[in-house]
């Protein structure tokens, strides 16, 4: 369908396709997306960045988690056009050259996965958890809202609850995040 037809169909005289720029894993990428494209589909289908995974596609499983402008964020409930100019770091981009990120190392060390499908999301989420804890952000299980945060097992379980693992590798994930936290 041509641009002219789209204008007539939408009745707004405004295009459906929009050109946006994202920085993905350190690389500036420009692309033209249909306004309905999610950030997840833009990354996977348009930019061939496939480490964020499509699980439920409805914000329930966490496998599409990336670090968006420095914080863990779902990409399935995000329209790409709304994030023009943003910086995305995926699990793939966490590794520098050939050296794995220390959270990735910890997942390897503790078998924090089985099939691996949820792992990129788990790893990005864990990096976010460590950063939030460092900033002193409390969680649902934090006893004293105004005290320093200590990443106990309960704290890690609660903070990672947005990432499901159907293989049930939770004990390994917990151990990995705990080691990465230096606990």
Partner 1 sequence: MRELDYVRASDVEEAVALVSGDPDARYLGGGTNLVDHLKLGIARPARLVDVGRLGLDGVEEQDGPDGRVLHVGANVRNSDLAAHPVVRSAFPVLSRALLSGASGQLRHQASTGGNLLQRTRCVYFQDVTTPCNKREPGSGCSAVGGYGRQDAVLGASEHCVATHPSDMAVAMAALDAVVVVRGRQGERRVPVRELHRLPGDRPDLDTTLEHGDLVTGVELPFTDAARCSTYLKVRDRASYAFALVSVAAALELDGDVVRDVRIAWGGVAHKPWRATAAEEALTGRAVDEDAVRAAVDAELAAARTTDQTAYKLPMLRGATTRTLLRLAGKDPS
Binding site residues, partner 1, CB under 8 A: 6, 9-12, 14, 16, 18, 35-36, 38, 57-59, 62, 65, 71-74, 77-79, 81-82, 125, 128-129, 132, 135-140, 142, 145-146, 157-163
CA torsion through residues 162, 166, 172, 176, sign: negative
Q: Minimum distance from CB of 9 to partner 1 (Å)?
A: 6
Alpha-carbon distance of 162 to 53, in angstroms, equals: 14
Query: Is residue 73 a contact partner of residue 65, using CB atoms and an 8 Å limit?
Result: yes
Residue 13 or 96: the one with the smaller Cβ distance to partner 1 is 13
Q: Edge-to-edge strand order for the sheet containing 17-24?
A: 27-34, 17-24, 87-89, 66-68, 71-73
Question: By C-beta, is 79 or 95 nearer to partner 1?
Answer: 79
| Nearest distance in Å: CB 21, partner 1 | 14
* Pair 123, 66: CB distance under 8 Å: no
Nearest-approach distance from CB 31 to partner 1, in angstroms: 15
- Of 27 and 171, the one with the shorter C-beta distance to partner 1 is 171
Shortest CB 41 distance to partner 1, Å: 11
The Cα-based distances of 133 to 9, 113, 166 in angstroms read: 49, 23, 26
């Amino acid at each position: 369908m041509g641009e002219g037809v789209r204008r007539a169909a939408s009745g707004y005289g405004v295009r459906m396709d929009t050109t946006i720029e994202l920085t993905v894993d350190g690389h500036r990428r420009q692309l033209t997306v249909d306004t309905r494209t999610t950030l997840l589909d833009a990354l996977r289908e348009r930019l061939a960045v496939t480490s964020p995974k499509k699980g439920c596609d409805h914000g329930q499983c966490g496998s599409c988690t990336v670090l968006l402008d420095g914080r863990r964020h779902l990409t399935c409930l995000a329209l790409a056009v709304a994030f023009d100019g943003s910086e995305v770091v995926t699990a793939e981009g966490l590794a520098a050259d050939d050296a794995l990120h220390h959270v990735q190392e910890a997942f390897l060390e503790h078998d924090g996965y089985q099939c691996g499908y949820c792992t990129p999301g788990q790893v990005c989420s864990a990096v976010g958890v460590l950063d939030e804890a460092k900033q002193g952000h409390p969680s649902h299980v934090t006893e004293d809202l105004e005290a320093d945060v200590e990443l106990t097992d309960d704290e890690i379980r609660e903070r990672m609850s947005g990432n499901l693992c159907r293989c049930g590798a939770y004990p390994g994930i917990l151990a990995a995040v705990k080691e990465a936290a230096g606990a």
